[in-house]
Structure 1
């Protein structure tokens, strides 16, 4: 039966070539959309590592003020913000926090292992309370760490697993350049770029404001009490402008930053998915029309087969089988190109498992599509009465 189907396809190779090409391109488009959807879905299911509700970010910029004066005024601003009743916690940290689209990557080493990590510099203990960070093991920074010579750091779980698989990293050391860091705590994760991105290897360092030699500590993270009037933003900005005369200020709410981030990520993907849906719909209509046309052209063939004893189910299966063979030809070519992505590592950010899942998903969807398109025409072919078909011929 299979050999007979392939022979039928070969005899009509010119007419079937266009359908094979349509299925091939449909598979490639589905593969691209499936890869994106699976990649973002997988990333979104991984822990974010922080809470963004009721968190504001105040960034300050000064171009003409000496560093020493900036540090004094920044410290005063943080102190006064903490005294406001609407603010639960206030923390001074580096600018590469959640949804700020800023990063500060550095290399950590342990023995022969190397790992590029995002380092977030925090001034004191409050950053953990502002962002709702949960500890896996160990502890967060304390006031005593300001006098420690061990250069304490807090790392994410993936950093611990990379350097110390199967064991705890608490108390162990890693190197940043030629300086040693001691791990005092491990947190679940910290994805400052957002939930749609992959887990980012991160760690935290504590730096006292008076020891900051640059303008890196220019971002204040505020945990606002629920129910606070939105006009409180004006009060915060007024206080900051009074203390930092001439500063450029930018106050944003992290939930708004998150919505902007998701819009930037999801809008192109939605457009791509809509284009893909229209393409698949056109291919489906084309397959349906071609099958219907073929059945009308082959009524005498169908009638002769029925007259020779072929059952309606065998005719039905024949047309289903023919479209499956066509789909298989298109999918074989499509899979050849698709497997190059994981084999050659064309997009290194996407794991090979995601490509494999996207290929399998696309194959399943194409087969489902062609079967659905073939069901009704094949049923109509099976219902042709042999006497009527032969009489018309």
Structure 2
């Protein structure tokens, strides 16, 4: 402790290098703590459970251009054909593909429009009674659609009257009672809840209500639509590569596009978030390395400037440990000042990110963890040069005196 005062005076005589290093440590602390929090948030987001066996499912989009068939009837024939293919577990028509970033949503309410009442934003899929099995979804309660409840039509006036919803949506709309058997409203359309799914994600995992999902047994595809097919994991790639030929055999006046696995659709949807996470990891790595090199370089510079003084201290009987401690304490003083400034900057940066980018408040644990990491890293970076200084020979250092 007695060396702190002379060390401080020595730093004041050579302040530019110390100030630059102090600012570097502060900037590193502020950026790394916020970046680490964002990375953790991205990792949680990218690894969240969707409720689907993603590697067993693939989807594709069909566009009809022939006018010699009724689209809804042809799509029913296509479903039957797909279910009969080797290694196919099940197949279903669906209005939009889950996890793809494209779909339909609306407010599901406990009262018909325009009556006021509790409502919740919900993604919904028009599909049939094979959707649950094809998507690999598990019911928490209730039942699947009956075949008689599935509306297959080209008449826009016809409507389904039942639905299957996720447990999350059921809890939001009917928190005090069992949702099974209750009625929800999509606009003025009354839908009786016949089943409740344990877990399923909608098309948008970034949505404010990504777990609010409803299946509606209604097929009115017009000239285009989507199919989902579930198969064995090992057979999926082969089946997906031949699906266009199989569909064209059934009816050739159409185009088959966007044949891709459900995991691939999810990956495409999350591509920007994955890229951001990787860029932040690279940024953190570079910042930490640059800061460590800065500490290493400044210590070497100080050693070269103080070779004579170090040799004199060694000649007067200073132990190697005293020389090492001197540089460790000097670095710790600079690092502590930089960390104090960095903690303040981290909090301010966290507030700005929260205000402008709707990011959650930065937890203090991330700031504390980053500060500890930077402090330990700085001590490790200075230890090598300090040990080198301690090995300076007194005779060589004092030869020019």
TM-score bin, normalised by smaller chain: 0.7 to 0.9
Go from structure 1 to structure 2 and tell me whether the alpha carbon gap of 1:386 and 1:33 turns closer, same or farther (over 3 Å shift): same
Q: Which residue among 211, 221, 224 is the counterpart of 1:201?
A: 211
| Deviation at residue 50 of structure 1 after TM alignment | 0.6
Q: Which residue among 365, 373, 381 is the counterpart of 1:373?
A: 381
Q: Any idea what the Cα deviations from partners look like across 1:283-338, whole Å, max 9, x if unmatched?
A: 32222121122133234555666788876545433422322332333333443343
Contact 2:124 2:216 in 1 (8 A): no
| Deviation at residue 80 of structure 1 after TM alignment | 2.1
Provide the residue aligned with 2:88 in structure 1.
87
| Deviation at residue 222 of structure 1 after TM alignment | 0.8
| Deviation at residue 57 of structure 1 after TM alignment | 0.8
1:101 aligned onto 2:105:
no
Go from structure 1 to structure 2 and tell me whether the alpha carbon gap of 1:69 and 1:331 turns closer, same or farther (over 3 Å shift): farther
Cα RMSD between the aligned structures?
A: 4.1
Q: Which residue among 16, 36, 39 is the counterpart of 1:37?
A: 39
Contact 2:98 2:201 in 1 (8 A): no
Distance (whole Å) between structure 2 residues aligned to residue 191 and residue 361 of structure 1: 35
Provide the residue aligned with 1:152 in structure 2.
163
Contact 1:288 1:374 in 2 (8 A): yes
Distance (whole Å) between structure 1 residues aligned to residue 342 and residue 58 of structure 2: 48
Unaligned runs of 5+ in 2: 111-115, 152-158
| SS of equivalent to 2:126 | strand
1:127 aligned onto 2:124:
no
1:1-393 superposed matches below 5 A: 1=1, 4=5, 8-31=10-33, 33-62=35-64, 69-98=70-99, 100-109=100-109, 115-122=120-127, 124-143=128-147, 145-146=149-150, 151-157=162-168, 159-163=169-173, 169-172=179-182, 174-179=184-189, 181-183=191-193, 184-190=195-201, 192-193=203-204, 200-209=210-219, 212=220, 215=222, 218-225=225-232, 228=235, 232-233=239-240, 235-250=242-257, 251-258=259-266, 260=268, 265-267=273-275, 269-274=277-282, 276-302=284-310, 313-340=321-348, 342-343=350-351, 345-346=354-355, 350-352=359-361, 356=364, 358-382=366-390, 393=401
| Deviation at residue 97 of structure 1 after TM alignment | 1.8
What is the number of residues matched between the two proteins? 384
Go from structure 1 to structure 2 and tell me whether the alpha carbon gap of 1:296 and 1:120 turns closer, same or farther (over 3 Å shift): same
| Deviation at residue 76 of structure 1 after TM alignment | 1.9
Range 339-348 or range 383-392, more displaced: 383-392
Contact 1:38 1:358 in 2 (8 A): no
Provide the residue aligned with 2:154 in structure 1.
none
Q: Any idea what the Cα deviations from partners look like across 1:194-213, whole Å, max 9, x if unmatched?
A: 7x99982331222322xx3x
Go from structure 1 to structure 2 and tell me whether the alpha carbon gap of 1:185 and 1:258 turns closer, same or farther (over 3 Å shift): closer
Contact 2:64 2:253 in 1 (8 A): yes
Go from structure 1 to structure 2 and tell me whether the alpha carbon gap of 1:328 and 1:62 turns closer, same or farther (over 3 Å shift): farther
| Deviation at residue 220 of structure 1 after TM alignment | 0.8
Unaligned runs of 5+ in 1: none
Contact 1:78 1:90 in 2 (8 A): yes
| Deviation at residue 89 of structure 1 after TM alignment | 0.4
Contact 1:241 1:247 in 2 (8 A): yes
| SS of equivalent to 1:207 | strand
TM-score normalised by the chain length of structure 1? 0.77
TM-score normalised by the chain length of structure 2? 0.76
| Deviation at residue 71 of structure 1 after TM alignment | 1.6
| Deviation at residue 275 of structure 1 after TM alignment | 5.1
